[in-house]
Amino acid sequence: MTAFFRLAALFGLMLGAIPSGALAEDSSIEMLVGRNPPNVRWENGKLTGYWVELSRLAAQKANVPIQGFQNLPYPRSLEEVAGGSRQCHPFVARTPKRESSYRWIAPTRRIVTTVFVTADLPNAPTTMEQLKQHEIAVQRGTLGDQVLEAFGIPAMRITDTNRLAVLLAHGRVSVFVAEYASGLAAAEEASVSVKEAMPLAETMGYFVCSPGIDAATADRLATAINGIFADGLDLPLAAADGMDAQSYDRVRPPLSQASVPPTQ
């Protein structure tokens, strides 16, 4: 047997030693989600919520297996995806600073960042100067955090919306900055009535993956996600999380953006 055929035979034996299904795992992804109840929450030992179920539905329609989910503090989840190889995240604000850190797959949310105040707060802030006179809470690493930092406005930085709900419930926070749906959800969890005081920023949130993910997987996920919103399959997921139709319509991505291709 020549050296070439000996090498070919050895390669064949090595392939035979790979466990069944291992090669197929090359097309799989790992989902990372931030700690953002109720849109990401644990129920009976199972991770669920809007962003979890949207990810599952997108992967199913794209025929892209999910290895598993990691539920991490939001800033860490973004770092892990940016530094990974086949990690994805369903909800990341698209900003110039982050442009090169991810493969931008498809829009999943209009991120309306706003200032909320408790309903009983007198003289709610309506300008940046007035806002500076208040103690403000904001989730670390979010777009709201970046906006406050850009304006030089100090804030109490918290880990997740669950912590915000605790602070609201105990009356330790009267003014906070959050993404529209997340802010309302935290207030509902705390059984505290809140109102919008002033908008701060608006951008698009995207389903993203690690920069090096292959184009075929990215394209299949983009097609699946765009199809979910075009067909209204996201609406039952939002309703299951308690989002009323009017509030959800405000943050639902415009269908006109459904054809935006993933960044190469």
- CA-to-CA distance for 232 and 258, rounded, in angstroms? 12
Q: Report which DSSP code applies to 55.
A: H
Q: What is the pLDDT of residue 108?
A: 97
Contact (Cβ atoms closer than 8 angstroms) between residue 209 and residue 248:
no
Instruction: Give the largest Cα separation in the chain, rounded.
Output: 89
pTM of model > 0.85: no
- CA-to-CA distance for 116 and 110, rounded, in angstroms? 17
- CA-to-CA distance for 258 and 227, rounded, in angstroms? 8
Backbone angles phi, psi at 43, to 5 degrees: -135, 120
Contact (Cβ atoms closer than 8 angstroms) between residue 179 and residue 146:
no
Q: What is the pLDDT of residue 176?
A: 97
Q: What is the DSSP string of 117-184?
A: EETT-SS---SHHHHTTS-EEEETTSHHHHHHHHTT---EEES-HHHHHHHHHTT--SEEEEEHHHHH
The architecture in CATH of the region 112-202 reads: 3-Layer(aba) Sandwich (3.40)
Q: According to CATH, where is 3.40.190.10 located in the chain? A: 30-109+203-257, 112-202
pLDDT averaged per 10 residues, the chain (length 264): 45 42 65 88 94 98 97 93 97 92 97 94 93 93 90 92 92 94 89 94 95 96 97 96 88 68 43
Q: What is the CA radius of gyration of the chain?
A: 21
From the list 114, 78, 48, the residue with the least C-alpha distance to 206 is 78
Q: What is the pLDDT of residue 26?
A: 65
Q: Report which DSSP code applies to 260.
A: P
Q: State the CATH class of domain 30-109+203-257.
A: alpha beta
Cα of 114 vs its chain's centroid, Å: 17
